[in-house]
Structure formats: structure tokens, C-alpha cells
Amino acid sequence: MKPIKVGLIGLGVVGAGTYTVLQRNGEEIRRRAGRAIEISMVAVRNTARAEAIVGAGVEIVTDANLVVNHPDIEIVVELIGGCDTARELVLKAIANGKHVVTANKALLALHGNEIFAAAQEKGVMVAFEAAVAGGIPIIKALREGLTANRIESVAGIINGTTNFILSEMRDKGLDFETVLKQAQALGYAEADPTFDIEGIDAAHKLTIMSAIAFGIPVQFGKAYVEGISKLQAVDIRYAEQLGYRIKLLGITRRAVVNGVEGIELRVHPTLIPTKRLIANVEGAMNAVLVQADAVGASLYYGKGAGAEPTASSVIADLVDITRLATADPGNRVPHLAFQPNQMTDVAILPMDEITTSYYLRVYVKNRLGVMADLTRILADARISIDAVLQKEPAENATRLDIVMLTHQTQEKNINDAIAKIEQLATVVGQVVRIRLESLS
């Protein structure tokens, strides 16, 4: 059988990794796929750099339209990132009857519904294993491995940059700004780190997993997104003393509020019991914990970024497509796990309505009755306290931290209580509130 021809748009880190791995393991991949996979054309801005990377058999162009329009190319791999141009090119490729592989989580989180509908209409595949958790085959696990299950929740460390920063902050007791600078120097964080540190990248990935887990459209706009840039070293330390680690977690979960089903979709720093496996995922590694009714808990761990780990997922998609390219669309796996006409419209819950536990740190004046005031406010709000940490203040200290872990309550309830606490004359500044998940 003749090789299947692939056109690559973008030859950055992941593009070059994809080319390299296909070259190195081409023979092994062919033995699996039953057919060789050949990158026949790449579209890049800098042709000189491209020439240094790809061999003579690959046509190098600067106009990506030449790739999406080329009659011999059956699969277009979009690796330029960003939304506008990428969306246009992907839709053109689909319109031309080409299958698409993309690692572009922003594109799918924002325009996935449009793109998958177009692909469905045209009978082509859009594959995106590389868009979530790099080399971990989590899309395949959720979409094919767990088809028997009613999935209850997905919770993941799905941004390596923030996990690296949090690991370093804990390990070395450093503050956020210092570690961020180190991460930038090491290449773990970008010059403009906003997408990573503010949780946006994680929310893109979580949005995609949420759709696959629950059979809902991608709804990035409804995700709650909170990053780690305001996290203080002192809270990491207190958490540790209480038996918890703080991770930037993407969480999506079924919930019932006032008898109505809804779905939580949220990214934020989260306390996790240290004894959980996922709490011990350190450095730039990723992990996704899935709770489902038949299988129970399962966890998927690996490298969430980098040239070859991401290329591993891009190429796995190429192999899947190579196998199914000649099959009837009905033989293929639906893009979002559920058949397109079998999606549901269960609503994403507003953040006020989610239920979780909380870590609260209150900075108070060292006066009689402070604790009584705090606990009274929580009791009035029917919020149970699970643990309290109050160190004996230094002699003559006039202010001190009181740390409390609460049982589960609704977010709007804790917010009301916090507002009341902040009005106390004995409380200084704002209450620090970090969500806590037991993940049991």
C-alpha cells in the first residue's frame, strides 16, 4: 500500500518533534499501522530553518493554503497554535475532505463545536490527542477505554508550567515571582506566562475533557478560571503541615443542585491530601484522575508537554486516521465520544453553585474572642470546621494567622461567610480562600 501523505502546518517544537519521531520510528510505526506515514509537505514562515530540519523529500512552502489544498495530502497536521488562522486553515482542510490532526487546545476549546460539526458533515476525522496532557493518551482513555462508564468526574494536573512552579515553591520555600523567573530561565515558562499561570491553558484542556466525559458541547466561556499567580508560599507551607499539597487542578464533575443536574467546570489552586497519588505528581509532569461508576478511580500520568511527548500523541492520531481513513464514518469513534446527535445540554454550573471544601487563612489581631467570632460566623452559615491550625504567637506578637479547613459547602455560602469575617474589627485584610478536594 502506498504511504499516506501528510502535510504539516508549523514546524516549531512539536512540528519538528513529529518529523523527528516519524523519521526515527517510521519503520516501527509502519509495522503497526500497516502503511507508511509520510510527511510530504510542510508550511512554515522560515524556510531556512525548515530546510535544516526536514529531509530533501519534503516540500517546504510558506503558504499554508498549499498544504490544505494539495490533492495528494490526506491528513493535515495543524501545529501553529492560536485561533484565527488555525481555525481558518482547519476548516478549509475539512472542506477539502482532508482529515485533521491538531494539538491546538485553544482552537478546540473555543471553536470545537463548529470544527467537529464541519468534520462530521464532511465525513472526515479531526483528532486531537496532543491537545490535552501532551503524551498521555487521555483522550483515548476517556473516549474509548471507559465507554462502559458513567463518568463522574475528571480532575487533572494538566499544565506542566504551573505544576513545576508549585513543586519548586513547596520544595524550596520560595515565593511565586522568584520561581516564575527560574522557570522562565529553564524554558518551563514562556516570556509571557499568562496563559499558563492564570489557568487558561488548563481550562482549554479541561473544557475538551469535560465535553468527552459528559457528552456536552465544548463551553470554554463557562469555565471558572483562577491561576496561581496570587498563591503565597505561606499557604503552601500551612497546607503541608495539615497534610495537603496545593496543585493547580482542572476539575469537571457531575453535580446536582436543587434537584437539577449540572456540571462543574473549574480550574483553580486546590489542596489535595498528600497521600493521594496525584498529589505526588511533581515538576512538569501531568496526571489525570478519572472517577467513573464501573471502573472506580483510574489515573493517567506522563509528560504533558515537550517536543517528543506531544509528537507521540500527534503520531498516534496519524496512525488511528491511517487505519480508519478508508472506513465508513460510522466505523469511527465520535469526535466527542458521544454520537453527534446524542449530546446533552446539561448546563455548566455557575461557580457560586459548586460545592467543595475550603482552606481559609485569616490574619487576625491577637485579641481575646477572635476565634469565637470566626467560628460563630461559620456555624451560623452551617459550615463545619474540619481542622484548625493556630500556632502559638511569638511573644508580644500583635497579629497572627488562623488557618481552618472546612467541610463541604456551597461556594456562595463560604463567600457570604468570608464577607462577614472580613467585616470583623479583629480581622486584618482579606481572607485567603483556597478550595480543597479530598479526591477520595
Of 266 and 335, nearer to its own copies (C-beta) is 335
Which of the residues 207 through 266 are near its own copies (CB under 8 A)? Answer: 215
Question: Could you tell me the smallest distance in angstroms from the CB atom of residue 419 to its own copies?
Answer: 40
Residue 14 annotated as part of some ligand binding site: yes
Residue with cell 476539575: 251
Of 193 and 215, nearer to its own copies (C-beta) is 215
Question: Could you tell me the smallest distance in angstroms from the CB atom of residue 185 to its own copies?
Answer: 22
Which of the residues 319 through 378 are near its own copies (CB under 8 A)? Answer: 319-320, 323-324, 326-328, 330-334, 337-339, 342
Of 36 and 66, nearer to its own copies (C-beta) is 36
Considering the rule CB under 8 A, would residue 298 count as an interface residue with its own copies? yes
Whether 205 sits among the annotated catalytic residues: the reply is yes
Residue 11 annotated as part of some ligand binding site: yes
In this chain, which of 124, 203, 316, 414 binds its own copies, going by CB under 8 A?
A: 316
List beta partners, residue 404: 360, 388
CB under 8 A: which stretch of 117-125, 181-189, 244-252, 299-307 binds its own copies?
Answer: 299-307
Question: Could you tell me the smallest distance in angstroms from the CB atom of residue 4 to its own copies?
Answer: 13
In this chain, which of 62, 280, 366, 384 binds its own copies, going by CB under 8 A?
A: 280
Of 23 and 366, nearer to its own copies (C-beta) is 23
Of 269 and 302, nearer to its own copies (C-beta) is 302
CB under 8 A: which stretch of 15-23, 202-210, 383-391, 392-400 binds its own copies?
Answer: 15-23
CB under 8 A: which stretch of 220-228, 257-265, 303-311, 387-395 binds its own copies?
Answer: 303-311
Expressed in angstroms, the distance from the first to the final Cα of the chain is: 50
Applying CB under 8 A, the site for its own copies has a residue count of 65
Residue 16 annotated as part of some ligand binding site: yes
Residue 427 annotated as part of some ligand binding site: no
Residue 215 annotated as part of some ligand binding site: no
Q: Are 63 and 43 in contact (CB under 8 A)?
A: yes
Q: Are 134 and 305 in contact (CB under 8 A)?
A: yes
Q: Which of 101, 50, 41 is nearest to 71 (CA)?
A: 41
Question: Which contacts qualify for 347-351: CB closer than 8 Å, 24 or more apart?
Answer: 347/262, 347/263, 348/216, 348/219, 348/222, 348/223, 348/262, 348/263, 348/264, 348/265, 349/255, 349/257, 349/262, 349/263, 349/264, 349/265, 351/224, 351/266, 351/411
Catalytic residue among 205, 230, 275, 391: 205
CB under 8 A: which stretch of 88-96, 236-244, 294-302, 391-399 binds its own copies?
Answer: 294-302
Question: Could you tell me the smallest distance in angstroms from the CB atom of residue 431 to its own copies?
Answer: 34
Of 256 and 387, nearer to its own copies (C-beta) is 256
Of 25 and 408, nearer to its own copies (C-beta) is 25
Which of the residues 108 through 167 are near its own copies (CB under 8 A)? Answer: 129, 135-137, 140-141, 144-150
Question: Could you tell me the smallest distance in angstroms from the CB atom of residue 54 to its own copies?
Answer: 17
Residue 105 annotated as part of some ligand binding site: yes
Separation between Cα atoms, residue 125 and residue 135, nearest integer Å: 20
Q: Which positions are annotated as active-site residues?
A: 205
Please state the residue numbers annotated as binding site: 9-16, 105, 190
Please state the residue numbers annotated as binding site for NADP(+): 9-16
Please state the residue numbers annotated as binding site for NADPH: 105
**Which residues sit at the interface with its own copies, rule CB under 8 A?**
17, 21-22, 24-25, 28-34, 129, 135-137, 140-141, 144-150, 215, 277, 280-281, 292-303, 308-309, 311-316, 319-320, 323-324, 326-328, 330-334, 337-339, 342
